[in-house]
Amino acid sequence: MGASHTRPSSPRSPYPAKPRVPHGIIAIVVFMFSFAPLWLSFQYCLTEVVTWLLSSGHILVVESSSAGTPLLIVKLLDGSKLYLLMTYQRCGLVSTTIFGLLLFLLLYPLGTSLLRKIAWLEIGLLIGLAWSCLRLSLSILISYYFGASAFPVTDFFTGPLTDIFWVVAIWSLALSTLVQKAAR
């Protein structure tokens, strides 16, 4: 008969587990340094980028401010105006923060390189912010052609509903690559 393979009676590794406390502390610091500038200035940056994108397409956009929050005024094709207050949710900061918290809470305890974890945090952050810019520009562009009443519908379907897709996709990709590296 063939040789049988038995598992050792103890599932413990012969090597002691590494403490993850330093990774956690570093992760908190990186998380704060990555997200603090966004919460302070990204609304204004996104307003500038969207204004530039729409203006390059010959759509009249005026920037203003309402109680310290950026406001976009877009002149639509039918002659009406669309007023958009650039809230944290509309700018995509809420979804990128949720992504960062998911990554921090679920992936930082993995036994992989801290630099890989930080890289995935930053990659996800950049993808989330790029998606926010694209999503907002698309919503405004659809409203430009179909009127101001189309904005709430497009904002809903391109907003939180589709934010789930990039958050889950990037988080899953990060998880699968980090777990592969940890298994080696």
The model's pLDDT over 111-163, given as tens digits with 9 standing for 90+, comes to 777 888 888 888 988 898 889 889 999 999 999 999 999 999 998 888 877 88
Residue type for 95, please? Answer: S
Q: What are phi and psi of 86, to 5 degrees?
A: -85, 80
Lowest pLDDT segment from 32-41, 45-54, 94-103, 166-175: 32-41
Per-residue pLDDT, 142: 92
Q: For the chain, which residues make up each domain, given as ranges?
A: 21-183
The model's pLDDT over 29-43, given as tens digits with 9 standing for 90+, comes to 887 887 777 777 888
Per-residue pLDDT, 9: 45
CA 13 to chain centre: 37
Q: How confident is the model at residue 12 (pLDDT cuts 50, 70, 90)?
A: low
Per-residue pLDDT, 182: 58
* 151 close to 143: Cβ distance less than 8 angstroms: yes
**What does the pLDDT average to over 88-95?**
82
Q: What are phi and psi of 116, to 5 degrees?
A: -65, -40
Query: What global pTM score does this model have?
Result: 0.76
Q: Residue 60 pLDDT more than 50?
A: yes
Distance in angstroms (rounded) separating the CA atoms of residues 42 and 54: 18
Per-residue pLDDT, 20: 64
Q: Residue 6 pLDDT more than 80?
A: no
- Give the mean pLDDT of the chain: 81
Q: Residue 84 pLDDT more than 50?
A: yes
Per-residue pLDDT, 26: 78
Per-residue pLDDT, 10: 46
Per-residue pLDDT, 52: 92
